[in-house]
Amino acid sequence: MSQPAATPTGPAGTVTVRVPAKVNVQLSVGPLRPDGFHDLANVFLAVGLYDSVSATRAEAPLLTVSGPDAAQVPQDRTNLAARAAELLARRNGLAPDVHLHIAKDIPVAGGMAGGSADAAGALLACDRLWGLHTPREELLALCAELGSDVPFSLAGGAALGEGRGEVLTPLEVGGDFHWVFAVAEGGLSTPDVYRECDRLREAAEGGVPEPVAHEPLLAALRAGDTQALAPTLRNDLQPAALSLRPALAETLDTGLAAGALAALVSGSGPTCAFLAADADSAIRVAHALTASGTCRAARATSGPAPGATVV
Ligand code: ATP
């Protein structure tokens, strides 16, 4: 039997994994279920904003975080990356004695699945550090135990997430799409945004339809056609995010006025996502957003990006 390929380890046997943020190009939210969750039709696209998670053998569990938003990230066992390491260790009868370091570049509580990215990164880094080489399907199942968005962070590319978002079907994407992300001052809590969504729907007339993937959107992704994708973008959580953070409307308008083809709140927000015609247009939109003062920072990038990758 052939041996699994050795994973390159850095100084002191460190394994580093780079893991992307995501934007939901479609986020359709079904009615509130009795268990408190919602069924989703969630089209994820991984984009080129990354966290890096490094795992190094240690005497006891330790977690550190660097980056401008490090102070907003829990540096104890509640961190999703630490929980990922504990889960993998427990399943394999190991002690979770590892130093995890997160170099954080994904906005915190920004609707871009930063915590999920770190969980997927930690799982892969520890798997390689401990020489486990867990089969991909098992890693994806562990990711789903950690959170609805974690399997996609491992997988990357583009995928349809159903159920709570964790039942993934990879999607074909025919080209790169250019995006700008306007990062807001302060985050929004995902559970708060879902609660506000339910509250707004209770107040409105009519039932909530079962969520389904929007075929014209999938066709535009397959074709790599930005102009066709723009009018299909849709986020059912946007009214709730705008209700909790009305100033986001101005951010969305600013990006559109600067030439973005479409604008939407990313996931539960408050990060706003703008689809641009090409890389130059994305840079112009990012400059206009930064100059407007309607966001803390604006970043131009593209997607699809690869999933969690050992570097
Ligand atoms: P999603 O898009 O999946 O709803 P999000 O991008 O809005 O998530 P996160 O950045 O994942 O939000 O952070 C949500 C909360 O999770 C934070 O406020 C923080 O308290 C907690 N958290 C736990 N682990 C992490 C982590 N590794 N990075 C960031 N936040 C974390």
Per-residue confidence (pLDDT) for residue 6, from 0 to 100: 52
Distance (Å) from CA 227 to ligand 1 centroid: 32
Report, at the CATH architecture level, how domain 177-303 is classified.
Answer: 2-Layer Sandwich (3.30)
Per-residue confidence (pLDDT) for residue 8, from 0 to 100: 54
* Ligand 1, residues at Cβ distance < 6 Å: 73-74, 79-81, 102, 108-116, 118, 149, 187, 190, 267-268
Nearest residue to 84 via CA among 46, 141, 167: 141
What pLDDT digit, counting tens, does each position of 119-147 carry? 999 999 999 999 999 999 999 999 999 99
Atom 25 of ligand 1, nearest CA residue: 115
Per-residue confidence (pLDDT) for residue 11, from 0 to 100: 52
Please, which residues have CB within 8 angstroms of residue 241's CB and are 6 or more apart in sequence?
Answer: 111, 188, 193, 196, 248, 265, 268, 269, 270
Distance (Å) from CA 259 to ligand 1 centroid: 30
| Buried-state track 105-127, b at ≥16 Cβ within 10 A, e below 16 | bbbbbbbbbbbbbbbbbbbbbbb
* Residue whose pair of structure tokens reads 């580093």 in the numeric block: 16
Domain boundaries of the chain, sorted by first residue? 12-171+306-310, 177-303
What pLDDT digit, counting tens, does each position of 3-34 carry? 444 555 555 589 999 999 999 999 999 998 89
Class of the CATH-defined domain 12-171+306-310: alpha beta
**Distance separating alpha carbons of residues 190 and 165, to the nearest angstrom:** 14
**Residue 22 among the catalytic residues:** yes
Please, which residues have CB within 8 angstroms of residue 135's CB and are 6 or more apart in sequence?
Answer: none
Per-residue confidence (pLDDT) for residue 3, from 0 to 100: 45
**Distance separating alpha carbons of residues 214 and 22, to the nearest angstrom:** 18
**Residue 104 among the catalytic residues:** no
Atom 12 of ligand 1, nearest CA residue: 109
Q: Which atom of ligand 1 is nearest to the CA of 21?
A: 6
Atom 9 of ligand 1, nearest CA residue: 109
**Given the DSSP bridges, would you call strands 234-235 and 15-32 parallel, antiparallel or unpaired?**
parallel
- Out of 22, 39, 105, 127, pick the active-site residue: 22
- From first to last of its 311 residues, the chain has per-residue pLDDT tens of 344 445 555 555 899 999 999 999 999 999 988 988 899 999 999 999 999 999 999 999 999 999 999 999 999 999 999 999 999 999 999 999 999 999 999 999 899 999 999 999 999 999 999 999 999 999 999 999 999 899 999 999 999 999 888 789 999 999 999 999 999 998 999 999 999 999 999 888 778 999 999 999 999 999 999 999 999 999 999 999 999 999 999 999 999 999 999 999 999 999 999 999 999 999 999 999 999 999 999 999 999 999 999 99
Annotated binding residues for ATP, written as ranges, equal: 107-117
Enter the pTM of the model: 0.93
Q: Which atom of ligand 1 is nearest to the CA of 79?
A: 24
CA torsion angle 145 146 148 152 (round to 10): -100
Per-residue confidence (pLDDT) for residue 222, from 0 to 100: 98
Per-residue confidence (pLDDT) for residue 164, from 0 to 100: 83
Q: Pocket of ligand 1, candidates 45, 51, 80: which has the most ligand atoms within 8 Å of its Cβ, to mutate?
A: 80
- Assess whether the previous peptide bond of 209 is cis (omega < 30° from 0): no
Per-residue confidence (pLDDT) for residue 44, from 0 to 100: 97
- Out of 51, 105, 118, 149, pick the active-site residue: 149
